[in-house]
Amino acid sequence: MKATPVLLDAAPPAAETLRSQGVVDEELLDAYSQTVSGVAAKAGQAVVNIRVGRPANPAERGHAQEAGGSGFLIAPDGYILTNSHVVHGAGRIQVTLADARVYPAELVGEDPESDLAVVRINAPALAFVRLGDSRKLRVGQVAIAIGSPFGFQQSVTAGVVSALGRSMRAQSGRLIDNVIQTDAALNPGNSGGPLVNSAGEVIGVNTAIILPAQGICFAIASNTAEFVAAWLIKEGRVRRSWIGVMGQTAAIHPRIARFHRINSAQGILVLGVESGSPAAAAGLREGDLLIGFKGEPLTSIDDLQRRLMGREIGVESPVSILRGAEKMELIIRPGEAPRSH
């Protein structure tokens, strides 16, 4: 029986042929493409373009400066989350919605320490996105960025979560912890836009790129953003206390955890203590592992930042630490963190 020759370079049916057979474009998309396009259609309605006018500096005899960025609606009554550096020093803020409507916006509050800000427009029943839980993120999961790079509104790029727990400095000089690294392409103008997961939930606020590197971009975690946005809407600023340590999340050795009956698997490793700080006065040392504050466990930098709010300023509070294999209790009196301008 003679074999039928098979042409190895034979092409699959063309798209036009498939359409003639009743197969539409949506059915040609693979699962990944369907996920990205679905999220873009859903979350994109809440993404806005922000144009900012900054007054000219008389000393420099310059003209008024125009700048821009992105943002996204977090409530149906016009609250928009963006980056502090997008709107800082603005004399005029203008917001363009996904449907091309344009509104003036007012600054509700900004927090240069976390590079986050909230602005508001006067418009009802707006599409908005929900903030997801960034603690549930996993390296390698899909990450989709939506924004206005170079003013091109509603631009979508997709990639993955490349790494978690990064740190970067805000323009105020303060370290922002638990930053998300992604390879979803970002460009100038993407700042303040959302980084979204496959469910359409915001997992981060796009904030920075490293030039001239490619595929190394950063977003502020959604849990940090949710915490800061709530205070900005409530008080217009975030009033923080301060103890003067630099640290990172670190694991607690299982044997030590069992011996001291510690339920948490991790704490905060102290990498440095500022001279003259409340931490130094309390006796904290580099290498200590912070595991508790006022009887509540500390498992991450986020936990500590959440507890160091204005109400803790000047209040003596017990902190639990591990120094080597020994568990200790220290008393610390947080001071007020200086405001950034």
* pLDDT of 62 over the 80 cut: no
Q: Which of 170, 187, 157, 191 is nearest to 70 (CA)?
A: 191
Q: Which residue has the tokens 């700080």?
A: 277
Q: How confident is the model at residue 17 (pLDDT cuts 50, 70, 90)?
A: low
User: What pLDDT is attached to residue 7?
Assistant: 41
* pLDDT of 166 over the 90 cut: no
Do 99 and 150 lie in one domain? The reply is yes
182 is a domain residue: yes
Do 144 and 207 lie in one domain? The reply is yes
Number of domains in the chain: 2
User: Mean per-residue pLDDT for 215-224?
Assistant: 89
Do 168 and 28 lie in one domain? The reply is yes
CATH number at residue 289: 2.30.42.10
Q: How many CA atoms lie within 13 A of 31 on its CB side?
A: 2
* pLDDT of 6 over the 50 cut: no
User: What pLDDT is attached to residue 277?
Assistant: 93
Considering 115, 177, 288, 303, which one is annotated as catalytic? Answer: 115
Question: How far is residue 252's CA from residue 290's CA, in Å, rounded to a whole number?
Answer: 10
Q: How confident is the model at residue 60 (pLDDT cuts 50, 70, 90)?
A: low
Q: Which has the higher per-residue pLDDT, 63 or 162?
A: 162
Do 205 and 264 lie in one domain? The reply is no
Backbone angles phi, psi at 217, to 5 degrees: -130, 160
Q: How far apart are the first and last CA of the chain?
A: 86
Q: Is 276 left (phi over 0), alpha (psi -120 to 50) or beta?
A: left
Do 122 and 203 lie in one domain? The reply is yes
User: What pLDDT is attached to residue 272?
Assistant: 92
User: What pLDDT is attached to residue 205?
Assistant: 94
Residue 251, C-beta contacts closer than 8 angstroms, at least 6 positions apart:
265, 266
67 is a domain residue: yes
73 is a domain residue: yes
- Last residue in a domain, options 207, 237, 267: 237
User: What pLDDT is attached to residue 14?
Assistant: 55
Amino acid at the residue 236: G
* pLDDT of 252 over the 50 cut: yes
Question: Of the ranges 124-133, 201-210, 331-340, which is most confident?
Answer: 124-133
14 is a domain residue: no
Buried b (16+ CB within 10 A) or exposed e, 311-322: ebbeeebebbbb
Q: How confident is the model at residue 239 (pLDDT cuts 50, 70, 90)?
A: confident
Do 260 and 157 lie in one domain? The reply is no
Q: Which has the higher per-residue pLDDT, 13 or 336?
A: 336
Q: How confident is the model at residue 77 (pLDDT cuts 50, 70, 90)?
A: very high
Considering 70, 84, 85, 155, which one is annotated as catalytic? Answer: 85
User: What pLDDT is attached to residue 238?
Assistant: 85
The torsion angle over the Cα atoms of residues 255, 256, 257 and 258, rounded to 10 degrees, is 50
Residue 85 designated active-site: yes
Q: Which of 27-31, 169-173, 330-334 has the lowest mean pLDDT?
A: 27-31
Residue 115 designated active-site: yes
8 is a domain residue: no
CATH number at residue 192: 2.40.10.120
Do 262 and 231 lie in one domain? The reply is no
Q: What is the pLDDT of residues 128-138, one digit of tens each?
A: 999 999 989 99
Helix (H, G, I), strand (E, B) or coil at 28: helix
Do 213 and 275 lie in one domain? The reply is no
Do 230 and 216 lie in one domain? The reply is yes
* pLDDT of 8 over the 70 cut: no
Question: How far is residue 108's CA from residue 181's CA, in Å, rounded to a whole number?
Answer: 28
User: What pLDDT is attached to residue 300?
Assistant: 84
Q: What is the pLDDT of residues 261-320, one digit of tens each?
A: 999 899 999 999 999 999 999 999 999 999 999 989 999 877 887 788 778 889 999 999
15 is a domain residue: no
User: Mean per-residue pLDDT for 3-17?
Assistant: 47
User: What pLDDT is attached to residue 26?
Assistant: 58
* pLDDT of 11 over the 50 cut: no
**Residue pair 156/35 in contact by the 8 Å Cβ criterion:** no
User: Mean per-residue pLDDT for 142-153?
Assistant: 85
The pTM for the full model equals 0.70
* pLDDT of 170 over the 90 cut: no
* pLDDT of 189 over the 90 cut: no
User: Mean per-residue pLDDT for 54-61?
Assistant: 62
Amino acid at the residue 50: I
Considering 84, 155, 191, 320, which one is annotated as catalytic? Answer: 191
Do 197 and 294 lie in one domain? The reply is no
% of the chain with per-residue pLDDT over 70: 86
- Range of 327's domain? 241-336
Q: Which of 111-120, 172-181, 201-210 has the lowest mean pLDDT?
A: 172-181
- Last residue in a domain, options 187, 217, 237: 237
Do 71 and 124 lie in one domain? The reply is yes
Question: How far is residue 251's CA from residue 109's CA, in Å, rounded to a whole number?
Answer: 36
User: What pLDDT is attached to residue 173?
Assistant: 65
